[in-house]
């Protein structure tokens, strides 16, 4: 059997359909309301799929949290990515974290040991003397301790559940209570429209992208409610910052998504993915600028470093959710990560071809890998960028965020939209339904060259003259006493 | 939006200690500030009047938790001036090693706290990682991790431990390499530059008028380092020069204050390496505690009318100790102890510095002045 690009080995939706058909035929179908059999079966299937998608998302969300802990630990640990490799296996100065590979059964660890020896020779830094051979202080227990760490967040959730729910005395009680529900409900609602595989989705709507964006942008309202109703100055500032920032970044987001829609010719997310699979080119190779814009805007939308101004812990303590506690806080925290997850999944769907395996036409038998695996792998891969940004970047100031959004992202997203329109109108071969392969290759190589050129941002003249290329002056001169009346 | 007062503190991530900064904001802009200090006033000066001269050293240690050695040494030099003690040269070198190690550790603590102030946690983890090396070295010297009680009137508690010079050189060499990592994550990050450059201007003249000293005033281009201007100990025998920034016409910004401290860490590390080479008797020899080579003879009493004074380049500025002898009737205790804390003077100035900037700049500006509340409240 040869599978098409959009067919899946795990045809879960079909299986559920068969099961619900069977159930409804044997229950409703036997009764005198037999004419409702199909409707009941459909309703049951939709319901079960909704629950399954929700469960799948919530379970794999733990992977995100686990990844963030592990990656941040590695980035911050010694020397970034290079040593993250080393702190796992190599050790320093020949001292390793215990030769656990020798304990693996059937000699399966021998290649690991050899790899370790090789890495130790290549990347181990024995010239740094004994002072840094402190990796042995790190408690790495081998792979068997991976799973307990994985379920850490379940334990956290249990803790949140047992905490008392408190509302500040002078808070606006009703709004204060409504805000978390608004945030959490709309966040979870996003996943109704995000398919996990061609056969694992809860809704196949013609306008799914439009509805998705609409639902995605309700949460800022809840954030503003939460910030204002808490009756706390920090939360108020955080809520206002959040509202300003999310409004400013909503427009580039929509325009960028619109460019994908224009390119693929559909508002249906599943059709967008199928278009990428059928036309043979992922959107990231056609709209690299759009991919970058979408990533940046999404980092701002989910309020992570460098755009985590609304909860800037250095000056606003915890921003708009300072006053929340217990499971309401826990769920809002989860919704933050769910939004991140949605962003990663959307990036995978919009730009990385969704569930299409890489080089699906070239590599034999790759069709038989379940499609859902590719979706998750691509989303988790995108999450690495989110963690990387958090480890490497600093927090941008409010006015700088807004300035960046309005003055750079919005024009760039319009340029991107124009590019998408031009590509679709004049380059796309509508008769064969394919892209001429030269175009994505050209676009990708030009973008890579531009990226490399632009990342060399050192200004030799500024270095020479010791001027400040990034100097931003907010007020003319701030001096003690001058501003006092 | 209407103006409102926000009370940042006494427990707030910005404060780096226990104090309150009342901020009047108009939207996101800071209109007025008012520092409120004194939460951890312990009355150290008064306590010292009932202690003899050896017992005061631990109290001086506890003036600043991030930089204990510099404070105990500031006291020791003043006490030696009061009691007219001759200090062996080797002891002076050992003291220099201890003080400069402490300075590096203190600046690392500052940088480690400043990175989260502008939103990056990686820098903090990296700085504290290197600070551990300095803490290990100081622990070898003084026996504990934070409050060492290391100097004695007339010398030091004990000589450099056996193998200390080897470990110290290795760690400092490694540290000098790793400073480049901080510069890689901070100087080459556009966001860090955007956050710190052009923010929190402070002019040299105004700072001098307010009495601000140390790295903060050197960042504004004023070359005043007590170790350089009035060399006290053996600082004139070492090969070093103070780190001074060249600021813009508007004064020094947060970036200048960051640069000057990073340079100072480098200078201190080089100074220690140089001092280990020049140490009389060699850095590898080890004298027993109490040996005249590391501990001179000191009287226990100071008569009435005798005064001792020393100004000392602390990690945060110019600290001064003033001791008047003749307390307790027989001169066993000081009659009066007066401490000049650099941060007590800097914090009010820094609070005024942030007027006109955004709320998000408050931690960036306040953090760049390196506040330490232990010494401020004394």
The residue count of chain A comes to 485
Given this model, what pLDDT does residue A484 score? 36
Give the range among A127-141, B277-291, B303-317 with minimum mean pLDDT. A127-141
**What's the CA gap between A2 and A11, in Å, rounded?**
15
How many domains are contained in chain A?
1
**What's the CA gap between A391 and A384, in Å, rounded?**
10
In a domain, B267, yes or no: yes
DSSP B192-248: HHHHHTTSS-B-HHHHHHHT--THHHHTTT----HHHHS--SSGGGS---------B
The residue count of chain B comes to 378
Contact state of B356 with A457 under an 8 Å Cβ cutoff: no
Give the range among A54-58, A141-145, A392-396, B144-148 with minimum mean pLDDT. A141-145
In the predicted structure, residue A372 carries a pLDDT above the cut 90: no
In a domain, B371, yes or no: no
Helix and strand element counts for chain A (H, E): 20, 0
In a domain, A78, yes or no: no
Contact state of B8 with A77 under an 8 Å Cβ cutoff: no
In a domain, B238, yes or no: yes
Give the range among A106-115, A117-126, B298-307 with minimum mean pLDDT. A117-126
**What's the CA gap between B343 and B376, in Å, rounded?**
6
Q: Residue B139 is encoded by which pair of tokens?
A: 């622990």
**CATH code for position B131:** 1.10.645.10
In the predicted structure, residue A166 carries a pLDDT above the cut 80: yes
Given this model, what pLDDT does residue B144 score? 86
> B300 is in which domain, residue-wise?
41-335
Cβ neighbours of A112 (radius 10 Å): 15
Instruction: Say if B250 is an interface residue toward chain A (CB within 8 Å).
Output: yes
Given this model, what pLDDT does residue B245 score? 80
In a domain, B16, yes or no: no
Instruction: Say if B24 is an interface residue toward chain A (CB within 8 Å).
Output: no
In a domain, A142, yes or no: no
In a domain, A380, yes or no: yes
Average per-residue pLDDT in chain A?
Answer: 77
Which among A125, A235, A314, A484 is the top mutation candidate for probing chain B, defined by the most B β-carbons within 10 Å of its own β-carbon? Answer: A314
Given this model, what pLDDT does residue A81 score? 38
Contact state of B355 with A457 under an 8 Å Cβ cutoff: no
- Over residues A342-356, the mean pLDDT reads 89
Q: Which residue from B13, B191, B360 is facing A309, i.e. has the nearest CB?
A: B360
**What's the CA gap between B78 and B83, in Å, rounded?**
9
Q: What is the dihedral of CA A422, A343, B189, A237, to 10 degrees?
A: 110
To which H or E segment does residue B372 belong?
A: none
In a domain, B100, yes or no: yes
How many domains are contained in chain B?
1
In a domain, B345, yes or no: no
Given this model, what pLDDT does residue A459 score? 60
Please, which residues have CB within 8 angstroms of residue B213's CB and are 6 or more apart in sequence? B224, B317, B318, B342, B345
Q: How confident is the model at residue B272 (pLDDT cuts 50, 70, 90)?
A: very high
Q: Which long-range contacts (CB under 8 A, 24 or more apart) does B138-142 make?
A: B138/B69, B138/B98, B138/B101, B138/B102, B138/B105, B140/B164, B140/B167, B141/B94, B141/B97, B141/B98, B141/B101, B142/B69, B142/B98
Instruction: Tell me the three state secondary structure of residue B36.
Output: strand
> A225 is in which domain, residue-wise?
163-455
Contact A363, A190 (CB under 8 A): no
DSSP lists the bridge partners of residue B155 as B152, B295
In a domain, B176, yes or no: yes
In a domain, B378, yes or no: no
Residue B317 CB burial class (10 angstroms; 0-12, 13-18, ≥19): buried
Contact state of A395 with B191 under an 8 Å Cβ cutoff: yes
Which among B29, B116, B119 is the top mutation candidate for probing chain A, defined by the most A β-carbons within 10 Å of its own β-carbon? Answer: B119
**What's the CA gap between B89 and A108, in Å, rounded?**
62
User: A257-286 pLDDT, tens per residue?
Assistant: 999 999 888 898 888 888 888 887 888 888
Contact A84, A387 (CB under 8 A): no
Q: Which residue from A309, A314, A399 is facing B13, i.e. has the nearest CB?
A: A314
**What's the CA gap between A209 and A212, in Å, rounded?**
5
Q: Which long-range contacts (CB under 8 A, 24 or more apart) does B123-128 make?
A: B123/B182, B123/B185, B123/B186, B125/A76, B125/A77, B126/A76, B126/B178, B126/B181, B126/B182, B126/B185, B127/B182
Please, which residues have CB within 8 angstroms of residue B41's CB and are 6 or more apart in sequence? B377, B378
Give the CA count within 13 Å in the CB-facing half-sphere of B91: 26
Contact B98, B58 (CB under 8 A): no
Average per-residue pLDDT in chain B?
Answer: 86
Q: How confident is the model at residue A122 (pLDDT cuts 50, 70, 90)?
A: low
Q: Which residue from A234, A398, A480 is facing B353, i.e. has the nearest CB?
A: A480
ipTM value, please give it: 0.80
Given this model, what pLDDT does residue A415 score? 93
Q: Which residue from B14, B206, B359 is facing A480, i.e. has the nearest CB?
A: B206
Cβ neighbours of B314 (radius 10 Å): 30
Q: How confident is the model at residue A148 (pLDDT cuts 50, 70, 90)?
A: low
Radius of gyration for the alpha carbons in chain A, expressed in angstroms and rounded: 26
């Amino acid at each position: 059997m040869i599978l098409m690009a959009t067919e899946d080995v795990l045809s879960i939706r079909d299986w559920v359909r068969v099961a619900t058909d069977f159930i409804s035929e044997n229950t409703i179908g036997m009764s005198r309301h037999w004419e409702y059999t199909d409707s009941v079966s459909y309703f049951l299937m939709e319901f079960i799929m909704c629950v399954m998608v929700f469960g799948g998302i919530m379970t794999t969300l733990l992977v995100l949290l686990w990844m963030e802990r592990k990656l941040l630990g590695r980035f911050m640990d010694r020397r970034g990515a290079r040593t993250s490799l080393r702190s796992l296996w190599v050790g320093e100065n020949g001292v390793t974290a215990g030769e656990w590979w020798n304990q693996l059964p059937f000699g399966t660890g021998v290649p690991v040991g050899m790899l370790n020896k090789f890495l130790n020779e290549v990347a181990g830094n024995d010239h740094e003397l004994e002072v840094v051979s402190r990796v042995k202080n790190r408690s790495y227990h081998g792979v068997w301790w991976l799973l307990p760490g994985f379920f850490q967040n379940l334990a956290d959730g249990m803790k949140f559940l047992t905490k008392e729910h408190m509302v500040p005395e002078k808070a606006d009680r009703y709004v204060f209570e409504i805000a978390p529900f608004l945030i959490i409900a709309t966040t979870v609602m996003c996943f109704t429209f995000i398919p996990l595989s061609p056969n694992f989705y809860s809704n196949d709507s013609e306008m799914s992208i439009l509805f998705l964006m609409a639902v995605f942008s309700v949460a800022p309202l809840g954030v503003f409610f939460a910030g204002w109703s808490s009756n706390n100055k920090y939360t108020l500032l955080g809520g206002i910052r959040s509202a300003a920032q999310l409004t400013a970044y909503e427009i580039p987001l929509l325009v960028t998504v619109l460019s994908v829609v224009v390119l693929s010719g559909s508002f249906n997310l599943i059709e967008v993915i199928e278009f990428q699979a059928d036309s043979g080119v992922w959107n990231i190779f056609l709209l690299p600028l759009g991919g970058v814009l979408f990533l940046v805007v999404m980092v701002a939308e989910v309020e992570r470093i460098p755009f985590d101004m609304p909860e800037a812990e250095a000056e606003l303590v915890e921003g708009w959710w300072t006053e929340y506690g217990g499971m309401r806080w826990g769920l809002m925290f989860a919704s933050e990560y769910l939004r991140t997850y949605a962003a990663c999944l959307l990036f995978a769907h919009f730009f990385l071809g969704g569930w299409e395996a890489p080089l699906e036409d070239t590599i034999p038998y790759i069709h038989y890998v379940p499609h859902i695996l590719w979706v998750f792998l691509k989303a988790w891969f995108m999450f690495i960028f989110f963690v990387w940004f958090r480890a490497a970047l600093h927090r941008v100031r409010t006015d700088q965020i807004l300035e960046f959004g309005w003055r750079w992202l919005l024009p760039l997203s319009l340029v991107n939209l124009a590019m998408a329109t031009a590509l679709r109108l004049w380059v796309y071969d509508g008769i064969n339904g394919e892209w001429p392969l030269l175009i994505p290759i050209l676009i990708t190589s030009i973008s890579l060259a531009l990226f490399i050129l632009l990342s060399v941002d050192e200004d030799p003249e500024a270095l020479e003259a010791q001027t400040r290329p990034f100097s931003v002056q907010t007020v003319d001169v701030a001096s003690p006493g001058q501003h006092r009346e | 939006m209407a103006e409102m007062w926000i009370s940042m503190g006494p427990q707030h991530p910005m404060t780096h200690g226990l104090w309150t900064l009342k901020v009047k904001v108009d939207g996101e802009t800071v209109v007025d500030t008012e520092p409120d200090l004194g939460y951890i006033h312990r009355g150290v000066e008064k306590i010292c009047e009932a202690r003899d001269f050896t017992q005061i050293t631990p109290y001086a240690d506890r003036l600043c938790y991030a930089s204990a050695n510099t404070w105990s040494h500031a006291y020791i030099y003043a006490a030696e001036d009061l009691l007219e003690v001759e200090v062996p040269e080797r002891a002076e070198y050992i003291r220099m090693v201890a003080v400069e190690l402490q300075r590096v550790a203190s600046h690392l603590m500052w940088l480690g706290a400043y990175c989260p102030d502008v939103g990056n946690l990686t820098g903090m983890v990296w700085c504290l990682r290197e600070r551990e090396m300095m803490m290990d070295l100081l622990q070898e010297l003084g026996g504990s991790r934070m409050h060492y009680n290391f100097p004695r009137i007339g010398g030091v508690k004990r000589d450099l431990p056996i193998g200390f010079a080897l470990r110290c050189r290795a760690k400092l060499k490694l540290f000098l390499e790793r400073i480049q990592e901080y510069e890689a994550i901070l100087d080459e990050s556009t966001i860090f530059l955007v956050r710190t450059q052009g923010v929190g201007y402070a002019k040299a003249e105004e700072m001098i008028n307010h009495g601000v000293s140390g790295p903060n005033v050197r960042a504004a281009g004023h070359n005043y380092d007590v170790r350089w201007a009035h060399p006290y100990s053996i600082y004139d025998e070492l090969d070093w020069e103070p780190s001074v920034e060249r600021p813009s016409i508007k004064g020094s910004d947060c970036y200048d204050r960051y640069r000057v401290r990073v340079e100072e860490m480098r200078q201190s590390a080089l100074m220690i390496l140089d001092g280990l080479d020049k140490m009389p008797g060699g850095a590898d020899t080890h004298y027993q505690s109490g040996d005249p080579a590391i501990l001179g003879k000191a009287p226990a009493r100071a008569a009435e009318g005798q005064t001792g004074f020393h100004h000392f380049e602390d990690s945060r500025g110019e600290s001064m100790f003033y001791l008047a002898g003749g307390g307790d009737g027989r001169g066993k205790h000081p009659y009066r102890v007066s401490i000049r804390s650099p941060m007590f003077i800097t914090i009010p100035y820094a609070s005024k510095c942030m007027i006109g900037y955004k709320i998000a700049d408050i931690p960036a500006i306040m953090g760049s002045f390196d506040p330490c509340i232990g010494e401020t409240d004394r």
